[in-house]
Amino acid sequence: MATARSIKNRIRSTKNIEQITKAMQAVSAVKMRRSEQVAIQSRPYALAALEILKNVRRTLKEEDSVKALIEERPVKKVALTVVTSDKGLAGSFNSNVLRKSIQIIKNSPIPVDIVAIGKKGRDFFNRRKNQTLIKEFLEAGDYVSFKETLPIAEYLQNLYVGGECDEVLLVYTNFLSALKQQVVVRKILPVTVKALEEITSTIIPTEGRFAGLPQAVDRALDKSEERYSYLYEPSLEEVLHDLLSRLVNIELHQSILEANASEHSSRMIAMKAASENAGELIDGLGITYNKLRQSIITKELTEISAGTEALSK
């Protein structure tokens, strides 16, 4: 049976844990609001870039001169890019992404190589001896900048153009609201109109606080037969060699911004739940301590009464 001292020590340690989780909740809330702001503000630019990329992709259906990033070939190997966090205590944020990744690997009839973004994903796939981790990118930052994501995008493009893989998939968490995030799988290479339409349709939530379509999205999701024509100078090949690469960079950057906002949101909710659980545990331990103390006092009073009665005889 627990002693009064041990229960008191548990109450003290639980209160310390509650203070830590409340502090982490406050920090995560601040980081979430800032990451959320960055992700939301960048969405119109990402959508405009995807719109350009989609329309350029349509004009290149019959082009043979520029096809490095748009050429669809028989898929013999897939590069699966998994976006996780560098830190833990983020609830189900990492486990949901990793679970989806394992599902893709198991259902794939062809070899799948892993590109890990984040320590949690790196550590998870390092423990799986039957899985090939070909590259890792760590310390993306709480408020990731374009310079930080550029090496990742360039590596994936070189991987595809060099023929080391025939398809690049991205698994990340899309930010819908502070209480809701969704794990999505997107094909970023080769660049196809269908994949771009799927990405643009999920960047803006259809419900919640951030629901609504900016002007860029309205055009990107336009299903009419309207086409945008472009004039290329100095030449089609020179312009698109740089343009396609830049637009893919923006696509990856926006996905990581969404994942960052989702991470901080998930951690804030997890720390809030931990604080509430610690409070409930403290209340329960307090009741147990008071009952134990009362039983000790009652026992001592009974012994004093019995001793007094024995001495009076």
Summarised one tens digit per residue, pLDDT across range 149-205 is 888 988 998 888 888 888 899 999 888 777 888 898 888 888 776 666 666 666 665
Domain containing residue 110: CATH number? 3.40.1380.10
The answer to whether position 57 is within a domain reads yes
Read off the pLDDT of each residue in 7-15 and give the average, rounded to a whole number. 86
What confidence score (pLDDT) does residue 64 get? 46
Instruction: Please give the Cα distance from 231 to 108 (Å, whole number).
Output: 41
Question: What's the structural domain count of the chain?
Answer: 1
Residue 281 lies in a domain: no
Stretch 109-123: mean pLDDT, rounded?
A: 90
- Side-chain-facing half-sphere of 107: CA atoms under 13 Å: 7
Q: For residue 255, give the amino acid letter.
A: S
Residue 1 lies in a domain: no
CA distance 117 to 259: 11
Q: What is the mean pLDDT of residues 241-268?
A: 82
176 found inside a domain: yes
> Is the residue at 78 inside a domain?
yes
pLDDT value for 242: 74
* Residues paired with residue 138 on neighbouring β-strands, in sequence order: none
The pLDDT assigned to 103 comes to 92
Q: Is residue 174 part of a domain?
A: yes
- The answer to whether residue 17 is domain-embedded is no
- Global pTM reads 0.75
pLDDT(218) > 70: no
Assess whether pLDDT exceeds 80 at residue 279. Answer: yes
Are 81 and 106 in contact by the 8 Å Cβ rule? The answer is: no
**C-alpha span between 94 and 84 (Å, rounded):** 6
Instruction: Examine residue 74 and say whether the peptide bond preceding it is cis (omega within 30 degrees of 0).
Output: no
Q: Is the pLDDT of residue 19 over 70?
A: yes
**Domain encompassing residue 69:** 25-268
Structural domain includes residue 13: no
